[in-house]
């Protein structure tokens, strides 16, 4: 097998494409022939030692992938050779083969495209947990999605629409805003040239969004929080912009609003049944055609470094897919 190996925490440029012995699955594990993997922002952080999960070196990055079960270890009864599965973990996907815990895999039902499976659970799982579970989104409410053209952003937009919400997409360019409108957003704001708080007044009739979904952080957080509606929920999803914002707490008091943390990885570990129920709902919505991963580019696995560069320079719209021939 071949894999991208992270041997130092010097970032994506230091990754090496190496030939490694093809591993045998242990008890409870399966070996997957990886068909496709997708890049998520935490993949950028983990190869720099800046992610909350710090695997021992060397490791193979790639938190999300899908493929075909090629060998099963002792005690695996729920999967068989030939099954199509999707995997989400911290590592292992940027390779031709991967070993995974069978109990944590998502079997892909008939009709679920493998490449969609490689770009689904991480972003849709995060955004479903954020909006439906932590945010208690109700039909008819208004959701502001920041970084709306990115991976978790496009997933949040589609999920909020599927749940019957009105969506205001906010992003840093007119091209990104146009993509969001084509995905069903009701309004779009380019926060590179518009004042976010002012721009939110017209599409919300001055009331503000009921939910703010924020995977960006930095300077956008305070104007977004100042605009939030009475009893609003501000979902803290990530800090792709780099800076972790600090808010004056009186703003929460004045709006009767809540700042709500979202940590999908720990939710999946701590609440496996709720997590599985969320993924099942997402698979149903996919089957109904309400959700479709937005694929920015489909690159050969060998071009992983250019995928990393594209995400690091803020160019990705939706998800970047890495495919094995």
Task: Choose between 85 and 177: whose C-beta lies nearer to ligand NAP.
Answer: 177
**Please, what is the minimum distance in Å from the beta carbon of residue 150 to ligand NAP?**
2
Please state the three-class secondary structure of 300-317 as a single string.
EHHHHHHHHHHHHCCCCC
Rounded-to-integer distance, Cα 325 and Cα 321, Å: 13
**Please, what is the minimum distance in Å from the beta carbon of residue 23 to ligand NAP?**
27
Q: How many CB atoms lie within 10 A of CB 297?
A: 17
Cβ–Cβ under 8 Å, residues 234 and 258? yes
Task: Choose between 72 and 240: whose C-beta lies nearer to ligand NAP.
Answer: 240
Alpha helices for the chain (secondary structure H): 41-46, 114-117, 121-128, 151-162, 174-182, 196-199, 221-227, 250-255, 264-270, 272-287, 304-312
- Closest residue by beta carbon to ligand NAP: 150
Closest among 130, 125, 129 to 146, alpha carbons compared: 130
**Please, what is the minimum distance in Å from the beta carbon of residue 264 to ligand NAP?**
3
**Please, what is the minimum distance in Å from the beta carbon of residue 83 to ligand NAP?**
26
Task: Choose between 96 and 172: whose C-beta lies nearer to ligand NAP.
Answer: 172
C-alpha distances out from residue 288 to 17, 111, 242, 281, 292, Å: 39, 11, 36, 11, 10
Binding site for ligand NAP (CB under 6 A): 40-42, 126, 147, 149-153, 171-172, 176, 215-216, 237-242, 262-265, 311, 314, 316
Cβ–Cβ under 8 Å, residues 119 and 86? no
Task: Choose between 72 and 267: whose C-beta lies nearer to ligand NAP.
Answer: 267
Task: Choose between 126 and 142: whose C-beta lies nearer to ligand NAP.
Answer: 126
Closest among 320, 1, 283, 303 to 117, alpha carbons compared: 283
**Please, what is the minimum distance in Å from the beta carbon of residue 142 to ligand NAP?**
19
Task: Choose between 98 and 148: whose C-beta lies nearer to ligand NAP.
Answer: 148
**Please, what is the minimum distance in Å from the beta carbon of residue 219 to ligand NAP?**
10
**Please, what is the minimum distance in Å from the beta carbon of residue 67 to ligand NAP?**
21
Q: What is the dihedral of CA 256, 261, 264, 269, to 10 degrees?
A: -110
C-alpha distances out from residue 236 to 162, 197, 221, 266, Å: 21, 18, 9, 15
Task: Choose between 41 and 225: whose C-beta lies nearer to ligand NAP.
Answer: 41
């Amino acid at each position: 097998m071949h894999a991208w190996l992270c041997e130092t925490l010097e970032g994506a440029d230091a990754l090496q494409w190496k030939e490694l012995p093809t591993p045998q699955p242990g008890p409870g594990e399966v070996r997957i022939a990886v068909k496709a993997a997708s890049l998520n922002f935490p993949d950028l952080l983990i190869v720099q030692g800046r992610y909350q999960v710090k695997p021992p070196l060397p490791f193979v990055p790639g938190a999300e992938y899908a493929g075909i079960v090629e060998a099963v270890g002792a005690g695996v009864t729920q999967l068989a050779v030939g099954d199509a599965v999707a995997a989400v973990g911290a590592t292992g996907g940027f390779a031709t083969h991967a070993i995974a815990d069978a109990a944590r895999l998502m079997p892909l039902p008939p009709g679920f495209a493998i490449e969609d499976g490689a770009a689904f659970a991480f972003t849709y799982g995060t955004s479903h947990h954020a909006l439906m579970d932590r945010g208690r989104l109700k039909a008819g409410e208004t959701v502001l999605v920041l970084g709306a053209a990115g991976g978790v952003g496009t997933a949040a937009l589609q999920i909020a629409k599927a749940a019957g919400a009105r969506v205001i997409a906010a992003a840093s360019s007119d091209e990104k805003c146009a993509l969001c409108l084509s995905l069903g957003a009701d309004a779009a704001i380019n926060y590179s040239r518009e004042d976010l708080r002012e721009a939110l007044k017209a599409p919300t009739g001055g009331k503000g969004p009921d939910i703010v979904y924020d995977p960006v952080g930095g300077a956008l957080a305070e104007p977004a929080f100042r605009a939030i509606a009475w009893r609003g929920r501000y979902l803290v999803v990530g800090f792709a912009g780099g800076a972790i914002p600090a808010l004056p707490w009186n703003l929460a008091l004045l709006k009767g609003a809540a700042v709500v943390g979202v940590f999908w990885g720990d939710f999946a570990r701590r609440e496996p049944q709720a997590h599985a129920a969320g993924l099942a709902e997402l698979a149903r919505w996919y089957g109904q055609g309400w959700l479709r991963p937005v694929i920015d580019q489909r690159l050969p696995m060998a071009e992983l470094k250019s995928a990393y560069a594209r995400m690091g320079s803020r160019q990705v719209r939706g998800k970047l897919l890495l495919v094995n021939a």
